[in-house]
Structure 1
Amino acid sequence: MGTKPIISIVGRPNVGKSTLFNRLVGYRKAITEDTPGVTRDRNYGEFEYDGYYFVLVDTGGFEPAKEEGFFPLMKQQIITSLEESSMVIFVLDGKEGLLPQDREISAGLRKYGKAVFHVVNKVDSRQREWTTAEFYALGVQKFYPVSSLHGLGIEDLLEDIVTQGKQLPGNCRGQIGGQATGDQQPRRIRSTRKPRAEEQEYEEAVEAPAESRIRVAIVGRPNTGKSSITNRLLGADRMIVSEIPGTTRDAIDSKIVFRDKEIILVDTAGLRRKSRIEMKVEGYSVSSALRTIEQADVVNLVIDADEGVSHQDGGIAHVIITRGKGLCLVINKWDLVEGKISRDEYRKLVKEKIPHTGFAPLIFASAKTGKNLFSILDADLRIYNQLKRRIKTASLNKTFHEFFQKQGLSYQQGKQVSILYVNQAKTEPPTFILFANYPELIPEHYKRYLENSIREKYGFLGAPIRLVFKKK
C-alpha cells in the first residue's frame, strides 16, 4: 500500500477553497460562508480518484498584506501545510479576476518547488472560460476553470492530479484510512506516568484489545484552551491558538497513537449560547460542535479553572450525556488557581454546579505547562472501555437481587411492584432492560437508587447508563 500524498488548497479569502475541499472530499466537512477568514485552521480530508488516494488540506485565506488579528497565525499555518505537501491547489476567483494578492501568493509558491494546479473558481458556464485569459499574466501554462459549487470542470483537475501523483514515491495507491504522510501519519506518543491507586482496577481494561479507532472530541465554551490542549497532545501547532475567543470554527480531525490505540482527536469550535450567535458562521460552528459530539465515542468537556463552572457547562454536559457519549471533565488552566483552592474543594464546587456529571472523572490539567495532559488520554481510554463493558445476565440478576434485598419496592397505588428480570441490551452506552409487573409505577427515586447501586458495584466510570423499564 502506497502513502497518500498531501495536497494543500491555498488562495485569498473567499475564493471558494472550502467549497472545493468539500466537493473533492465528498461531504460538507468545512464551513463555507461568504465571509473572509472563515477557515482558520488546517482542515484535513481524504479522497480517491481512479484508484489513487490523496490527503487534502483546506487552509485559511492567505492575505500577505495583513498583519493584524488572525492573519499572521493563519499565514504560519499555511506555510506549515505547504512544507508538508506534495502538491498545491492554488484557487483564484473567476468573478473578481486577477488581484495583486494573487500575484504575491503565486510568487511565494514558486520557492517551494511543488507542483501547483492553478484553479479558477466560480466559472459557471463555458462562456465564462474566456474570463480566465487575464490569469495567464502569472506566467502559468495551464489553468483549470471550475465551479466548485456546481461540480463543473472538476474531472480535468482530478485527472492531472492523478497523473502527477503517479510520479511520486509510493504511487499513491492504497485505501482511505491507510498510511498517510505528514500530520495524517498517526503520531506515536506514550505516557511514562504510572497509574494511581484508584486507576489500578481499570488498568487491565486500558491495555485490553479494543476498537482500532476511538473518536475523542474536545469541546467547551470559547477560549477555555481546547486548541492548546490539542496542540500539546499532538506535539505540533496544528490548531491556531489565540486569546481571541472563537478562533477555531471548524472541527479538525487528527490521528495519534496512545497506548497502542489509534485515537481520532477532534478539536471543535467553542460552544456559545444561542443569544450570542450573531453571525451565521457562528451558527455553523455550534452545529459542527454538536455533530462532533454525535460522532464521538468519548467527549472531553474543557472548563476554565479560573472562570469556574458555568450554567452553560452544565448544558453542554447534558447534551453529551443525552447522546450517550462518554464524558470526561477537564479542568484546564489549573496552574492559575493551584494553591488558592484544593482539588477536593474544586470537585465539591463542580458537584454542586453540575451534579448530573458525578459519574465523570475530573482531570486537573494545564495546557500551558503540559501538566496532566496525558492523564486525559488515559481517562478517555478507560471511559471507552467502560462504554463497551457488558455484564453477564446471570451475574447481573444476582447483583440486582442484592439491590432489592437492601432496599425493596413498597406498594405503589395499592399494588405490589416487582422487578422480575434484568439483562443488558446493549453497550455504548450501557443499557439495561428491567422487566417488571407494573413498570409505570416505579418511582423516580427508586430508579436513581438502582443506577447509583450499579455504579457502586460495577463502576462505569465516565459512561452514562440507560435503565429501560418494560412490562413482563
Structure 2
Amino acid sequence: MSLPVVAIVGRPNVGKSSLLNLLARRRVSIVDPTPGVTRDRVSAVCDLDDRYFELIDTGGYGIEDQDNLTEHVEQQIRFAIDGAALILFVVDIRAEITPLDLEVARLLRGVKTPVQLVANKADTEAIEHLAGHFIALGFGEPFCVSALHARHRRELMELILERVGDLAPDKAPDPVMKLCLVGRRNVGKSTFINALAGEERVIVSEVPGTTRDSIDVRVNLDGREFLAIDTAGLMKKGKHKTDVEFYGYSRALASIRRSDVALFLIDATVPISDVDKKLAGYIVEEFKPCVLVINKWDLAKGRADAEAYGEYLSKTMPHLAYAPIAFTTAVAGRNIRSTIELAQSLFNQARQRVTTGQLNRVIEEAVAAQQPMAGKHGGQPKLYYATQISVAPPTIVLFVNNTALIKEQYRRFVEKRIREALPFEEVPIRLIWRARESREGASRGAPARGAGPDNA
C-alpha cells in the first residue's frame, strides 16, 4: 500500500504551512503572513517511531487570490480531501469562529473522510481554554498545538497515527491504474485517447490547444479497467494569453500528480524543446513512473532509427534515462496496446516490495564497490542500514551517521545500484536519508560492512 495521506485544511493564515513544517521537522512550505501564499498542494513524509504517513498542506480555503486563482486553489484542496485518510481541520485558537471557518466546516461535513479539529497558535497553556468555542463547528473537541513553539508535536503525531491506523483495511483493494497523457501542444494526446477508447471521446484538431481541460476517460482493456486522463497541451508559461490557457496548464500538472503512470508524448518530427525538458523535470520531481511515447513515428522514417532516437533522448533528458520508450502512430492505432502493457508493467514495478535483507545486501555491495568520500573536516560517512517503508513510489529510508556527509554524487550512485539490483529498474525511487539517533545504536547493530570505521 501507499503511505496513508493526511490533509491539512483551513481558512487562510491559521498556520497550516507552519504546522506541516513542524510535523515534518523541516521547512517544506513557505510561511508568510500574506494570505494565499500556498496555492498548490505541498507534501512531506512524516514519521514517528518508525511509522510513516504523507502530510499534505493546502491553500487557504476561501482566499480571494490576487491572480484570480481562487478556483484553482479550491480544486487542489478538494483533490487533497478526496485522497486523504484523515483531514486536519486547522483553526486559529486566538480568533473567534469566522465565516470562512464555517464554510470549511460545511465543506468537510459533506465528505466521508474522518476529520480531526486542530486549534493552532496555542502558544501557552493559559490560552488553551479558548479552544472550547470551536466545538460549535461540529467536529468534537479541538486538539491544541503551537506550530510556532513546537508545543504538543509528539502528542499530535501520536493522535494522527492512531486515527490513521484504525482506518487501515486488512487488505488493500485492487488498484485501478490512472494514466495521464501529457506533452506539448499538438503531439497527438487526444488522438491517442480516442484510439485507446475506440471512439472519439475528445476533440481532435490540427489547431494547437484544442483540449483546454483535463478529461477523464475510463477504459476497459481485456477485462482490466483503468483511467486515462487527457490534458491540455503545454507551452511556455509566458505564452499563456488567456486564463483558460493558464488553467489548462495548471490542471495538466495536477493530473500528473494524481496519476499512477505518465505517458509523456513527444512529437517525433520536431526537436526536444525547453517545454519538454521542464515537463520531464516535473515528472521526476513527482516520482511518477513514465513511458516516453514517441508519437508520429511514421512521419520520422528515414530521419533516424529507434536506437539512435533513444540515444538522443538520453542526451537531451538524462534525468529520465531509466524510463522505457514506446514508438507509436496514434492516428493509425499503431502500438497503442503495447504502450498500455508497458505502463501496466511500470504500475506493477512501482508497487513492488523487497525485504530488508535484500535491500541491505545491495547497500553492502554498493559500499564495498565505492566508499563514500570523507568530509572536508575529516568526518567519515557511515551507512548503517536501509528499509523500504512504502510503495508507489518505492520509498526507502537509509540510516547514516550524518546526512550532511553524504554527497549528492554518492546518493545518485546508491540509487543507481538499488535500481540495477532490485525490481525498480524502470521506475523512480524515493530515497530518504536519515541520521540515526545515538540511542538506537545498540539496538540497530553495526554499520553496513565496508561503510567505514565504527568509532561511535
| Same topology, TM > 0.5 | yes
Equivalent of residue 321 in structure 1, options 284, 292, 295: 284
Matched to 1:339, the amino acid is G
- Alignment of 1:419 onto 2:378: no
Farther off after superposition, 409-418 or 450-459: 409-418
Selected match of 2:200 from 233, 237, 244:
237
Change (3 A) 1:310 1:342: same
What secondary structure sits across from 2:322 in the alignment?
coil
8 Å Cα contact 1:383-1:461 kept in structure 2 = no
Instruction: Give ranges in structure 1 of 5+ residues lacking alignment.
Output: 1-208
Q: What's 2:405 paired with?
A: 441
Give runs of aligned pairs for residues 26-45 of structure 1, distance below 5 A. none
> Could you tell me which of 174, 179, 183 is aligned with 1:220?
183
Letter matched to residue 199 of structure 2 = A
1:461 positional shift: 4.2
CA contact (8 A) 1:417 1:441 kept: yes
Aligned match of 2:347: 384
1:419 Cα deviation after fit: 0.2
Quote the offset at 1:211 in angstroms.
Answer: 2.9
Asked if the contact 2:294/2:327 (under 8 Å) is kept, the reply is yes
Report the equivalent of 2:452: none
In structure 1, distance between residues paired with 2:326 and 2:434: 37
Q: Secondary structure at the match of 2:262?
A: strand
**Structure 2 CA distance for partners of 1:412 and 1:404, relative to 1, 3 Å:** same
Partner-residue secondary structure (3-state), 1:379: helix
Which position in structure 2 is the counterpart of 1:312? 275
Q: Report the equivalent of 2:371.
A: 408
Q: How many residues align?
A: 264
Q: How does 1:31-430 map to 2 (within 5 A)?
A: 211-413=174-376, 414-430=378-394
On the 8 A contact 1:212/1:262 being kept in 2, the answer is no
Which residue number corresponds to residue 24 of structure 1?
none
1:340 Cα deviation from its structure 2 partner: 2.2
Unaligned runs of 5+ in 2: 1-171, 437-456
Q: Distance in 2 between matches of 1:278 and 1:461?
A: 41
Q: Is the contact made by 1:387 and 1:463 (CA closer than 8 Å) also made in structure 2? A: yes
Amino acid at match of 2:424: F
1:456 aligns with one of 390, 414, 420: 420
Instruction: Name the CA distance, whole Å, in 2 between partners of 1:421 and 1:288.
Output: 40
- How far residue 261 of structure 1 moved from its aligned partner, in angstroms, is 2.5
SS in 2 for 1:448: helix
How far residue 369 of structure 1 moved from its aligned partner, in angstroms, is 2.3
Structure 1 Cα separation of the partners of residues 277 and 418 of structure 2:
23
Shift of residue 210, structure 1, vs aligned partner? 7.9
Q: Deviations over 1:114-172 (max 9, x none)?
A: xxxxxxxxxxxxxxxxxxxxxxxxxxxxxxxxxxxxxxxxxxxxxxxxxxxxxxxxxxx
Deviates more, 1:460-469 or 1:380-389: 460-469
Letter in 1 for 2:397: I
- State whether residues 374 and 405 of structure 2, in contact with CA within 8 Å, keep that contact through their aligned partners in structure 1: no
Task: Note if 1:467 corresponds to 2:431.
Answer: yes
Distance 1:411 1:458, change over 3 A: same
In structure 2, how many angstroms separate the alpha carbons of the residues matched to 1:232 and 1:373?
7
2:399 touches 2:433 (CA, 8 Å); kept in 1? Answer: yes
User: Is contact 1:227–1:267 with CA below 8 Å preserved after alignment?
Assistant: yes
- Structure-1 separation of matches of 2:282 and 2:259: 12
Partner of 2:11: none
What whole-Å deviation, never above 9, does each CA across 1:195-216 have from its counterpart, x for those lacking one?
xxxxxxxxxxxxxx98341111
Structure-1 separation of matches of 2:174 and 2:426: 18
How far residue 435 of structure 1 moved from its aligned partner, in angstroms, is 0.5
User: Percent identity among equivalent residues?
Assistant: 37
Indicate conservation of the 8 Å contact 1:422/1:433, yes or no: yes
Distance in 2 separating the partners of 1:211 and 1:255: 16
Instruction: Return the alpha-carbon distance in structure 2 between the equivalents of residues 358 and 457 of structure 1.
Output: 17
Check conservation: 1:273, 1:312, Cα contact below 8 A: yes
Q: Which protein, 1 or 2, shows the higher relative CO under an 8 Å CA cutoff with sep ≥ 6?
A: 1
1:410: how far off? 3.2
Q: Deviations over 1:324-367 (max 9, x none)?
A: 22111100000001232111110111111111001111101111
Give me the CA root mean square deviation. 1.5
**Structure 1 residues 314, 259: CA separation in 2 closer, same or farther (over 3 Å shift)?**
farther
